[in-house]
């Protein structure tokens, strides 16, 4: 289970519950936490504090059990019968509807399939075709690179006269809504800084000028309240392996507003997106609704694991998740502010909690080495080039005492300059 207050290199105060915040001791905050019991649903190494759920979520016991069941029983014993017997064929819709509740989407608009990159290609193609008299895809310079890469790839395929990427400063999005913009492509939460965009305002201003909007929910689904229908969003994508805890490389999801489903046509006309795939007709006829955005055969094992992982959210309100994630971040932020050895760390996330997601980002010239030292001392965070230390606050499996321990470990690393050890400066393929 999760790293205990009395394990690893945690502080003395963690053992007694003596770390204090405005809300009492951290131990008291854990006792009062309505989500405290959720940690029992996860399989977390005792000697670690895991602050990287914004990159890869933790393994839930339900997901572990489903993986065994799918491999050993459904595939191992029932074989191809499982497409019907265990409803493999319905997994994209079933998992999609579980996610829909977390992102404020009515039924019939969300489906699980492929990766964010592939789903973006589908939605960008559909949106540009719906705005054939325009050619510009507008996006902030700070957007996640793969989102920009997909626009660049589509521009190479279609030509600049049909697709052209225009990058602007993050704060200039609404002022750049020109008449030649077909699509605005935005990440709801910035992957580096954690800054949170105003979905309702930007969507409304873009649509007032005839512009379609695609939102990337990779860093908000499952931890930040999202209201796609209430904000009249056109399209959205998101991944299953961060705050949704679906496992490495878990399938992504996409959302197509019901009002667009008749006109929006995706370019990857694979057999699972056909209205009758097992009729094996030569002529492609898209399935009605969001199912028309399916393409190839669903990855049954990984999709089954994601489907099981989503069950941990069944009795949880997203507002609860939001409150706890902000409270966890507040404890960390306060700890950094009050610790003299940590004054070299420069916060680059919004101070106002209403303007950020569920992570904090700190700049330091040696952020990579500091991150590696943290990992070696039982606190798992991550690094983003060129100089950012990111810490994520997944409310389902983190405790307030975990946060106190992580701040104390970080203090020791900075005070004793442990990050100077050459071993912490060796870069691997994945940073």
Q: State the Cα angle at 378 between 373 and 383, rounded to 5°.
A: 50
Q: Are 69 and 284 in contact (CB under 8 A)?
A: no
For 377-410, b where at least 16 C-beta lie within 10 A, e where not — what string?
bbbbbbbbeebbbbbbbbbbbbbbbbbbbbbbbb
How far apart are alpha carbons 284 and 268 in whole angstroms?
11
- Residues annotated as part of the active site: 144, 216, 241-242, 390
Measured torsion, CA atoms of residues 198, 391, 169, 352, in degrees rounded to the nearest 10: 50
Provide the pairing of β-strand 181-187 with 49-50.
unpaired
* Contact residues for 159 (Cβ-Cβ < 8 A; gap 6+): none
DSSP type of residue 188? S
- Would you give the distance in Å from CA 141 to the centre of its chain? 19
163 class by beta-carbon count within 10 Å (0-12 exposed, 13-18 middle, 19+ buried):
buried
If we measure between CA atoms, which residue out of 255, 199, 260 comes closest to residue 227?
199
Give dist(CA 329, CA 361) in Å, integer: 11
Kindly tell me the sign of the dihedral angle through the C-alpha atoms of 394, 398, 400, 401: negative
Cα of first residue to Cα of last residue in the chain, in angstroms, is 25
Q: Residue holding tokens 């706890």?
A: 324
CA 108, 190, 211, 295 torsion-angle sign: negative
Q: Burial of 208 by CB count in 10 Å (0-12 exposed, 13-18 middle, 19+ buried)?
A: exposed
Are the C-beta atoms of residues 137 and 183 closer than 8 Å to each other?
A: yes
- Single out the residue of 398, 224, 254, 217 nearest to residue 317, CA to CA: 224
Q: DSSP string covering 229-251, please?
A: TTTT--EEEE-SSSTT---TT--
């Amino acid at each position: 289970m999760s790293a205990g207050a009395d394990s690893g290199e945690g502080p003395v105060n963690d053992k007694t519950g003596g770390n204090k915040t405005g809300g009492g001791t951290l131990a008291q905050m854990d006792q009062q936490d309505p989500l405290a019991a959720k940690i029992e649903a996860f399989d977390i190494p005792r000697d670690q504090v895991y602050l990287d759920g914004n990159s890869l979520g933790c393994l839930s016991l339900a997901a572990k059990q489903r993986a065994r069941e799918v491999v050993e029983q459904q595939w191992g014993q029932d074989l191809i019968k499982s497409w019907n017997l265990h409803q493999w064929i319905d997994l994209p819709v079933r998992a999609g509807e579980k996610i829909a509740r977390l992102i404020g989407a009515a039924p019939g608009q969300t489906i699980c399939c492929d990766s964010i990159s592939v789903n973006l290609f589908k939605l960008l193609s559909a949106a540009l075709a719906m705005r054939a008299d325009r050619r510009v895809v507008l996006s902030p310079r700070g957007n996640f690179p793969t989102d920009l890469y997909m626009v660049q790839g589509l521009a190479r395929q279609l030509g600049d006269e049909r697709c052209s990427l225009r990058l602007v400063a993050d704060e200039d999005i609404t002022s750049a809504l020109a008449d030649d913009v077909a699509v605005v492509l935005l990440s709801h939460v910035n992957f580096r800084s954690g800054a949170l965009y105003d979905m309702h305002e930007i969507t409304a201003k873009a649509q007032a000028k005839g512009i379609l909007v695609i939102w990337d929910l990779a860093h908000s689904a499952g931890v930040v309240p999202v209201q796609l229908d209430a904000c009249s969003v056109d399209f959205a994508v998101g991944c299953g392996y961060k705050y949704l805890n679906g496992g490495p490389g878990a399938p992504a999801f996409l959302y197509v507003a019901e009002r667009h489903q008749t006109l929006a046509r995706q370019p990857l006309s694979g057999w699972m997106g056909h209205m009758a795939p097992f009729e094996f007709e030569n002529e492609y006829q898209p399935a009605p609704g969001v199912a028309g955005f399916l393409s190839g055969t669903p990855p049954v094992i990984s999709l089954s694991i994601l489907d099981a992982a989503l069950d941990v959210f069944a009795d949880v309100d997203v507002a609860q998740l939001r409150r706890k994630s902000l409270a966890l971040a507040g404890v960390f932020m306060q700890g950094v502010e009050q610790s003299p050895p940590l004054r070299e760390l420069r916060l680059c996330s919004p101070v106002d909690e209403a303007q950020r997601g569920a992570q904090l980002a700190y700049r330091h010239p040696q952020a990579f080495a500091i991150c590696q030292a943290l990992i070696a001392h039982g606190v798992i965070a991550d690094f983003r080039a060129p100089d950012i230390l990111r810490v994520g606050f997944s409310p389902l499996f983190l405790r307030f005492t975990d946060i106190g321990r992580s701040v104390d470990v970080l203090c020791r690393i900075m005070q004793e300059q442990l990050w100077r050890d050459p071993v912490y400066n060796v870069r691997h393929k994945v940073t």
